[in-house]
Amino acid sequence: MSFEIVSQARCFGGTQFVYRHASRETGTPMRLSVFIPPQAEKGKVPVVWFLSGLTCTEENFTVKAGAQRAASELGLILVAPDTSPRGEGVPDDPEGAYDFGLGAGFYVDATEAPWAKNYRMYSYLSHELPTLIGRELPADMMRQGIMGHSMGGHGALILALRDPNRFRSVSAFAPIAAPSCCPWGRKALSGYLGPDEKDWRGYDACDLIDDGARLPELLVDQGTADSFLESQLKPQLLEAACSRAGIPLTLRMQEGYDHSYFFIATFIEDHLRWHAKRLSL
C-alpha cells in the first residue's frame, strides 16, 4: 500500500512529487501530486488538499496553479489527487461525455451499476488516502485544510461538512455549490446514486448545511465572467444556506475572471495564506 514515486523535482527549496499506489477503495492504481516544502526536513508540517474539477487529473493543479512558491514559504504540504479511478475495465460514459465517468468521479461513493465497483472517491479521500499520507509522509494530520475548484470545490465542501473535525480550514474556487440543482450535478448524482433524490442529500453542500452540518467559516472566490456561473455553480444558493445556518461565508465575486486556471493562479496565494493562518493555531 506504500507510494511508488512516478516523478520528483526540486521546486522552491522543496520537492514536487507524483506518486502512484494501489487503491483498496477503487480497485485501481491511483495517482496523486504532492508538494513537500523544505520545512518538512525538520518535522511534520500542515497539509492542504486541492480537489480538481471535471476532466482534470492530478496534473492540472500542479502545473497550472503556481501554488508551490507560496506553499514553500508557508510550510504547507499540498496534496492533489486524481478526480476518478482509471485503468482497464473502469467504466466510462458510453457517449464519451466529459461530465460523467472518467475524470468526473464527483467525489461520491457510487451505488449504481456499473459504477459502484470502482467509483468510490468519497471513501478514498475520506479514509484510505489520508491514512496513507499520514503514514508515508511528514504530514501533521491534526492540521489539515481543504480547497477545490468547480467539481472539486463541491468535493471540498462535502468532505469538510461531513467530517468537520478533520479540517481546520475550507475554501473553494467556483464550486458547484448545489449539485442537486444544476445539470452537471443532477446527471452525476442520478447516474452514480440512482433516481431517489433523498440519496443525493449527503453529497450536496446546501442540503448538508440545511440538514445540520456546519463549518466554522468558509472562503469562496467566484469569477463574474465564468460561463458556468448561472447554469451550474449557483453561489447564491450556498450564500443563502450559510446565512440560514449562521456559517460565516466570505464570498468574493471577482470581476472579469472566468472558470480557468488563470483565475485560480491569480488567487491561490490568498487561499494558501488564509489556510496557513488557520492551520498555525
- Active site positions, annotated: 150, 226, 259
Residue bearing cell 440543482:
181
User: What does R_g of the chain's alpha carbons equal in angstroms?
Assistant: 17
Question: Using an 8 Å Cβ cutoff, are 107 and 153 in contact?
Answer: no
Cis, bond preceding 114 (omega within 30 deg of 0): yes
210, containing H or E segment: helix 205-210
Coil, strand or helix at 197 = helix
Between CA 83 and CA 28 the distance in angstroms is 13
DSSP codes joined into one string, 134-174:
HHHSSEEEEEEEEEEETHHHHHHHHHHHH-TTTEEEEEEES
